[in-house]
Structure 1
Amino acid sequence: MTTHQGSCHCGRVSFEFDGDVGIAIECNCSICRRKGALWHGTDDAHFRLLSGESDLGVYRFGTQTASHYFCTTCGVSPFSHPRIAPAAWVVNLRCVDDVDLSKLKVFPFDGQNWEAAAQQFLKARAG
Structure 2
Amino acid sequence: MIKPGHSYNAACHCGSVQFRVTISENDKPPRRCTCSICRMRGAAAVSTPLDGIEFLKGEEMLTKYQFGTMTAEHYFCSKCGIYTHHKRRSSPNEYGINVACIEGVSPFDFEEIVVFDGVNHPKDNDGASHIAGYLRFTQD
TM-score bracket for the superposition, by shorter chain length: 0.7 to 0.9
Determine the structure 2 residue equivalent to 1:121: 129
Instruction: Find the residue that maps to 1:112 and give its secondary structure.
Output: coil
Q: Does 1:106 align with 2:113?
A: yes
For CA contacts below 8 A with separation 6 or more, give which structure has more relative contact order.
1
Determine the structure 1 residue equivalent to 2:14: 10
* TM-score of the aligned structures, taking structure 1 as reference length: 0.83
Per-residue Cα deviation, 1:21-42 (whole angstroms, up to 9, x for no partner): 7601111111011111101011
Identify the structure with the greater helix proportion: 1
* TM-score of the aligned structures, taking structure 2 as reference length: 0.76
- Alignment check: 8 A CA contact 1:23 1:40 kept: yes
Off by >4 Å, runs of 4+ in structure 1? none
List runs of 5+ in structure 2 lacking aligned partners: 131-140
- Alignment check: 8 A CA contact 2:100 2:106 kept: no
Paired residue total? 122
Aligned-CA RMSD value: 2.3
- Alignment check: 8 A CA contact 2:63 2:76 kept: yes
- Alignment check: 8 A CA contact 1:5 1:98 kept: no
Give the Cα–Cα distance (whole angstroms) in 1 for the partners of residues 85 and 111 of structure 2.
18
Per-residue Cα deviation, 1:60-93 (whole angstroms, up to 9, x for no partner): 0000000000011111111010111223111010
